[in-house]
Structure 1
């Protein structure tokens, strides 16, 4: 199967490089400057053990695309979604499915409106990487998993074929029966941890050691749980137990990529991860005062970057 990875950053670059190493037929859709870098040096991965890997990468630009791909893996930040969709459209043929690995849920509406329910899967990625200053992928922890599944009952590419394309490539690949539930589970956890750490400008352990910190963290998580439950996707006990341990932790410096971006002056996914949860809560009649405060904070930060 021909695979197009849209984005060669911390997520797309990591999983795409694993697929290349496994012998899959992979192209990377990137901007011209990034394409030149990839063609010259390939993908560079610095592992958590301190080793450096160089993986050959076949880079293409939007102008070079043809509708001959079976699977398009979309791995961009949410604020780059509109541009990415415009760029990748030429790659989507009658037997192509788009599998997005963005956080939150809003992007599903954008993709299904553009390509149709039968050409869009849902997806969840779990990885601990970030993009270095020279464009290298920096692994900051050992985690690598993709979860995916069709949104409709009759996708143009069968789930088993998508799974075959992604499985056995050096990371965990899992076909989900209810991908929307998987996506909500991650969103509840990520939005809570991201909102807590970004609003307090501190990793979770430091927040919870502060006066009132544990109560604040628990309140934020409770709001996210209430929205998910009202939407018809109450998180499983497994996710609740995991989130309780992480969000209630008082020792570790756990945070999220959004916290990293915020504290390093980069753009953040405030609207997609936090703001959309506020919007859905309002539509469902669920109060989210703590998430509203976090969204205001992130919005003010984003406006400041543009001044």
Structure 2
């Protein structure tokens, strides 16, 4: 399958790399030193599931140079999605599938502002990975998985075929029967990233101290309450399941949002705790812990964005 990976970071580098190793025609979008290293030495992936590398990689920093793909995986930060969708418009055709894997619950709707709805899928991924150095991806934790589907959760042939392609490439894939519920399950879990940012702590540190563990639980319970108000079908014990899942993360691990906050970079704050706060205001739901996290980080987020403008 002719595939375009937009964003060759921890997510795009891993899943795109697996597809390339499996023999698919993959083009990667990368920039700067990362692009140069991939051009010269290929893409190297260190993984808890086994290291691998891709030689003679197709890589460019210009979407406009790419031939029409059958599949586009968007693996950039959430705030970059709209601009990417705008750039994709000239290179896709009516059969191109566009699959966003962003954190949050807004990506597919944002893409549809620029691309035909028939092209757009909805999805999420589970993986803890990052760029270690130019041309080098490190998969640190969590069994890599893509959960995806049509935006209305219909079981079409194209998504069933795509599931098979993903599985044959060597990672888990599941066509969702309720993609909104799946997006919100992950959304609930990732919003603890802001709490890690505020406390400047790892998953292990936050979960072992009873006070911050309780804050984590309260943060999750607020999001579950919001989801219920929005008629999202989540299981009653999701908070307990999420905490149990986070208890399996390596002690010193963090999230991309947390690392961005610590390093003074723009983060996905608006698409995580910020989204909770704004949706809760519209729904009339009180979310004090998420509000605390959001406004505690907001001034730092504004400073980081001023630096990049």
TM-score, with length taken from structure 2: 0.88
Q: Give the distance between the partners of 1:251 and 1:99, measured in 2 at CA.
A: 29
Cα distance, 1:90 vs. partner?
Answer: 2.5
1:183-262 correspondence runs (5 A): 183-191=183-191, 193-210=192-209, 212-237=211-236, 239-246=238-245, 252-262=251-261
Q: Work out whether residues 204 and 254 of structure 1, in 8 Å CA contact, stay in contact via their aligned partners in 2.
A: yes
Cα shift at 1:115: 1.4
* C-alpha distance in structure 2 between counterparts of 1:30 and 1:88, whole Å: 15
Q: Confirm whether residue 53 of structure 1 aligns to residue 53 of structure 2.
A: yes
Cα distance in 2 for partners of 1:55, 1:199 equals 40
Distance in 1 separating the partners of 2:6 and 2:243: 34
Q: Please state how far the C-alpha of 1:283 moved relative to its aligned partner.
A: 0.9
> For each residue in 1:100-126, what CA deviation from the matched residue of structure 2 results, as whole angstroms up to 9, or x when unmatched?
000111222211221132211111111
Match of residue 14 from structure 2:
14
Q: Distance in 2 between matches of 1:31 and 1:214?
A: 39
Distance (Å, rounded) in 1 between the aligned partners of 2:207 and 2:137: 31
1:62 matches 2:76: no
Gaps of 5+ in 2: none
Deviation string 1:128-182 (CA, Å, 9 cap, x unpaired) is 2111233411121252111110114789972223223322111111111211211
| Cα distance in structure 2, aligned partners of 1:203 and 1:88 | 36
Paired residue secondary structure (2:90): helix
Q: Is residue 33–residue 134 contact of structure 2 (8 Å, CA) maintained in 1? A: no
Moved more, 290-299 or 203-212: 203-212
Alignment of 1:116 with 2:131, yes or no, is: no
From the superposition, tell whether residues 252 and 246 of structure 1 become closer, same or farther in structure 2 (CA, over 3 Å): farther
Residue 30 to residue 211, structure 1, CA distance change in 2 (3 Å): closer
Deviations 1:180-226 (A, max 9, x none): 211111001111x2132122221244334446333322211111111
Find the counterpart in structure 2 of residue 178 from structure 1: 178
Give the deviation of 1:32 after TM superposition. 6.7
User: Structure 1 unaligned runs (5+)?
Assistant: none
Q: What is the SS of the residue equivalent to 1:138? A: strand
| Counterpart position of 1:105 | 105
Q: Distance in 2 between matches of 1:104 and 1:214?
A: 22
Any idea what the Cα deviations from partners look like across 1:235-262, whole Å, max 9, x if unmatched? 2256433213256799944532211222
TM-score (norm 1): 0.88
Stretch moving more, 181-190 or 114-123: 114-123
The aligned residue for residue 267 of structure 2 is: 268
The number of residue pairs the alignment matches comes to 305
